[in-house]
Structure 1
Amino acid sequence: MTSPPATPPREVSFYDEDWRLEDIASDCEWAEEYRPGGFHPARILLRVSGQHKVSRAHSSELQDQIIDWRCSIPRYAVLEIMTAQSSTAFTELAILDHLSNSAPEDPNAQHITKLLKRFHHEGPNDNHQCLVFELMGASAASLVEELPENIPKLWGVPQRYAKPVAKKILIHALHGLKFMHKNGVVHGDLQPGNLLFSIENLDEVDQQQLEQNRTDAAIPLRRIDKKTDRWLETDFYVKLSDFGAESTVTPKGLRSPEVILKRPFGSSIDIWSFGCLMYEFLTSEPLLTVMTCGYDQEHRDKADDDHLIQLNGKIRPLPESIMRSWSRADRWYDLDHKQFCDFEPYKSLEQRFAKNKHPDIDDEEAATICQLIRVILVYDPAELLKQPWFFE
């Protein structure tokens, strides 16, 4: 008879020789986080805190696990179970409370996901803060893949929203940002995955119709040593979500110059991300592609340098203030800001947009959009909503 496995430490090692589970090729939370202080093993039909039943489970990113639940009253909502040692739970609660109490009658408030209640749940991996949100649908990142016109996925054929839908997503994101910034909150992680579509009222839908097949919902996790693991279990609206970050976690390609250079920042970092998303939604490709090939500082520095070089080539020449803050600028540019290297220059924003734009966008409109993207850093959300393109 084999001995039981040792209790894993609360901190996850980044060295694969210390991992206890086999690697899985799936877009889901990192399995090694199922340990004391980590994820709670939620499963279909699990009752949380005695009254909330899990109907569908969704994979998540970073520290949170998103699931649907149905409580004792006939109402569906979304339950977010924080990791037991999550440092973001208090931050997210404070932000949500602040936004909930900040002029709820403001029409822009309807573009922020609503917190309905909160409670704690004791599980095998410690005590978890649980947040209950209004029921929302798919994210802007995932829904585009399910549109009939994008199925089947074909090589070389872009997956994108129709222009009116893309425009409406952008408008609603701006309304949400306007409300947040007006009330002193910076999102810090504006990306398609945090733009959620509204969903029809499901209160009258039979629970069995919504319950996810347990086999489909489960991805088998197996220990490397083959032992049994004790810390696992076998007319739309768009709203901003995920307010729990204690620091900026913006995807690399959506970072503003001040985030790249670790300078003080404010709400303008959300506006910068919005400008990049505007290009992305209308072309189905990222404006700035930044890759990190390693975790050490040297690799991070190379990625940051590449990001700034792309900004200089695709958007506009970097100003003197950024060049002075960029400690490695002299590796790439002379005192007159001319490149040392003779690598092929990046195509400009206008050239790239003309090549990849939605077919419903003509040349005149393309010029307007590119001009708007170029000036987007100097506008706040309230000013951007005055731009005529959004309402044409």
Structure 2
Amino acid sequence: MLSGLKSIFRPKSAAIPPRLRPPITIRNGTRRTSATTTTRKPKLERQSPRTANYSQNDTVIIFPEEPIGISAEDGFGHLELTIGDELGDRGEYKLARKLGYGRYSTVWLARPTRGRTKGDSPYFTAMKVLSQHATGRLGSHSDELRVLQRISNPTTSHKGKDFCTTLWDAFVVDGSHQALVLDLMAGDVKALRFMYKNGVMPLAMTKTIIGQMLVALQYLHDECRVVHADLRPENILIANPYPHVKLKQMLALEKPEYSPPMTVFGREVQPIVSKPLLSAPLFPFFQLAEHQWLFRLGDFGEAQFIDDKVTDCTMPDGLRAPEVIMGHPWDEKIDIWALGCLTHEFLTGRSVLDDSDMPSARDDRDLTSLALMIRSTGQRFPDDMLDKCNPEKVAQYFGPDSSLEDLANYSAPASIVSCLQTHNPEMAHHPHELESAAAFISRCLALRPGDRPCAAELLKDPWLMSEPVWGLRYETDPANASKEETLGAMVRWFSSPYLGVVSYMTLLLGTAVFVWELIS
């Protein structure tokens, strides 16, 4: 091992289970016995092969977890880890559970070992281990490490830091994999939405999430000069509600679960099944006190410094800002656009750019998105904005009068107000909430970036300030309120007439269960 690099300490007791040799899923129905049976590289996917077009010469490998065994040259290069591995220069972090995975990393629950100094970080942490490909992108195509170091500044007094994940440590594993030690989180909002019918989240919870994300964005944009650029449900994380004693008890009873073994390029692999804390048996209890949950903005893999961008912005489909699609100069206002899209999605269960009602699918996703933006918002792209866009994009999509070509072939989607009224029964009976929520979303979805309000302005929007339902309504600037004020505002809300007798009794029951779990 090279000097100065931190490595893996794998005890004998943590050996990886023996591998078997099952058949691997192949598109043409044949069995692959080596990496040289076809002349083309395999196409990798997570969904069913029926969702994409492949030729009979393509080998399709379906991975239940991260694609172990695929090289960094092919865009992956994940490090194969297992429960019990000890990471760090002194082996101070021991992997206790696999929490999740993505294209560029795996995330593990890490517990301390005797090699870790007291007070270095929380007792349990999340260990994000980047793939070899993602590690190679750091600096040239990704600013994740620098951004995390900037936003984790211990000297800041801005409360937005409390709503962003904190970087506690960083080191290199096996010479080519960056490891990041972060706050342990319970899960993400994408998984949380599955608890609600049609993915429509309660109004109060939506305000909680959006309000806390705005405080986080105010901190990122104004103090850190960072744009997140990947604001989506899976990157809004739920703060860990478990005391470490309860986590110890859960882990003591838990055994790792492995995916069925498979062969990749002649090598047998068997990834560990991911188990986020949200899936733990006791977690549904915390649903009773949902307004007490804290959310944090995470995954800064696409984040960039506003004044020192290292690469172009992409953003996920359905959340891409118009300036990103059109090659217009972009800044932190793309996060505001994404936040407006998410607000609509949380309250209706549908994307604001939903094209499912269209009679036929369009091949050009950019054209479809632009048409839906115009139809949904009732706006048109201003000439001064188009003048700053990519000329080829403008010529491709817009006519001489600055109108979008082929717009007449796109049916007009429901307005934001009518969509809220149709898909959110809770809001349908509260006209004032309906109108103010629609106005909030419309402010975020201004086509011209300069017309969108900043995070600080949105924090004062009437929709968020109408009721203290998300714990951040103060006489002072909410971004500078203390944790005591935050909890105090939540307690005041719980004791207010807004909650009602039924919800108040639910809170008492939840508190009793929580106390019982602590003492049992």
Q: TM range, normalised to the smaller chain?
A: 0.7 to 0.9
Tell me if 1:241 matches 2:241: no
**Displacement of 1:19:** 7.8
**Displacement of 1:241:** 0.7
Ranges in structure 1 where 5+ consecutive residues have no aligned partner: 151-156, 292-298
Q: Distance in 1 between matches of 2:443 and 2:211?
A: 17
Paired position in structure 1 for 2:438: 370
Moved more, 49-58 or 171-180: 49-58
**Displacement of 1:119:** 1.5
Q: Distance in 1 between matches of 2:103 and 2:362?
A: 19
Paired position in structure 2 for 1:289: 354
Paired position in structure 1 for 2:370: 308
The counterpart of 2:85, out of the listed 11, 27, 46, is 46
Paired position in structure 1 for 2:256: 214
Task: Give the residue type in structure 2 aligned to 1:189.
Answer: D
Give the SS at the match of 2:82: coil
Tell me if 1:186 matches 2:224: no
8 Å Cα contact 2:43/2:60 also seen in 1: no
Q: Distance in 1 between matches of 2:62 and 2:334?
A: 35
Tell me if 1:344 matches 2:385: no
Q: Distance in 1 between matches of 2:67 and 2:211?
A: 34
CA deviation vs aligned residue, 1:124-161 (integer Å, no higher than 9, x gap) = xx62110000111111111222x3xx4xxxxxx41332
The counterpart of 1:70, out of the listed 111, 116, 133, is 111
Structure 1 residues 95 and 206: CA distance shift in structure 2, 3 A:
closer
Paired position in structure 2 for 1:84: 132
Paired position in structure 2 for 1:388: 462
Structure 1 residues 248 and 32: CA distance shift in structure 2, 3 A:
farther
Moved more, 316-325 or 88-97: 316-325
Q: Distance in 2 between matches of 1:47 and 1:253?
A: 40
Q: Distance in 2 between matches of 1:89 and 1:224?
A: 27
CA deviation vs aligned residue, 1:191-222 (integer Å, no higher than 9, x gap) = 1111111113532236351265322xx22241
Q: Distance in 1 between matches of 2:159 and 2:338?
A: 23
Q: Distance in 1 between matches of 2:321 and 2:333?
A: 8
Structure 1 residues 313 and 14: CA distance shift in structure 2, 3 A:
same
Q: Distance in 1 between matches of 2:137 and 2:365?
A: 26
Task: Give the residue type in structure 2 aligned to 1:365.
Answer: E
Aligned residues: 363
Task: Give the residue type in structure 2 aligned to 1:111.
Answer: F
**Displacement of 1:118:** 1.2
Structure 1 residues 88 and 163: CA distance shift in structure 2, 3 A:
farther
Tell me if 1:138 matches 2:183: no
Tell me if 1:29 matches 2:71: no
8 Å Cα contact 2:381/2:402 also seen in 1: no
Tell me if 1:127 matches 2:176: yes
TM-score by length of 1: 0.81
Question: Considering only aligned residues, what root-mean-square deviation do their CA atoms show, in Å?
Answer: 3.4
**Displacement of 1:354:** 1.9
Paired position in structure 2 for 1:260: 325
Q: Distance in 2 between matches of 1:176 and 1:18?
A: 48
Paired position in structure 2 for 1:320: 382
Moved more, 344-353 or 193-202: 344-353
**Displacement of 1:327:** 2.6
Residue pairs, 1:80-119, within 5 angstroms = 80-86=128-134, 87-90=136-139, 91-101=143-153, 103-119=155-171
The counterpart of 2:217, out of the listed 155, 177, 196, is 177
Task: Give the residue type in structure 2 aligned to 1:228.
Answer: R
Give the SS at the match of 2:176: strand
Give the SS at the match of 1:190: coil
CA deviation vs aligned residue, 1:231-250 (integer Å, no higher than 9, x gap) = 76572211111112254342
**Percent of residue pairs identical:** 22
Give the SS at the match of 1:265: coil
8 Å Cα contact 2:42/2:59 also seen in 1: no
Paired position in structure 2 for 1:153: none
The counterpart of 1:168, out of the listed 204, 208, 212, is 208
Of structures 1 and 2, the larger Rg is shown by: 2
Q: Distance in 2 between matches of 1:106 and 1:335?
A: 43
Q: Distance in 2 between matches of 1:67 and 1:279?
A: 32
Q: Distance in 2 between matches of 1:116 and 1:366?
A: 42
Structure 1 residues 221 and 289: CA distance shift in structure 2, 3 A:
farther
The counterpart of 1:379, out of the listed 444, 450, 453, is 453
Q: Distance in 1 between matches of 2:138 and 2:316?
A: 21
Task: Give the residue type in structure 2 aligned to 1:242.
Answer: D
Q: Distance in 2 between matches of 1:6 and 1:383?
A: 56
Task: Give the residue type in structure 1 aligned to 2:85.
Answer: L
8 Å Cα contact 1:283/1:358 also seen in 2: no
CA deviation vs aligned residue, 1:224-282 (integer Å, no higher than 9, x gap) = 77x433x7657221111111225434211111110111221000000000011111111
Give the SS at the match of 2:96: strand
Paired position in structure 1 for 2:12: none
TM-score by length of 2: 0.62
Give the SS at the match of 1:78: strand
Ranges in structure 2 where 5+ consecutive residues have no aligned partner: 1-20, 22-32, 45-53, 273-291, 303-310, 447-451, 468-520
Q: Distance in 1 between matches of 2:178 and 2:332?
A: 28
Give the SS at the match of 1:138: strand
Structure 1 residues 65 and 337: CA distance shift in structure 2, 3 A:
closer
Moved more, 260-269 or 42-51: 42-51
Give the SS at the match of 2:244: coil
Q: Distance in 2 between matches of 1:199 and 1:233?
A: 25
**Displacement of 1:384:** 0.4
Task: Give the residue type in structure 2 aligned to 1:116.
Answer: W
Paired position in structure 1 for 2:479: none
8 Å Cα contact 1:188/1:247 also seen in 2: no
Give the SS at the match of 1:252: coil
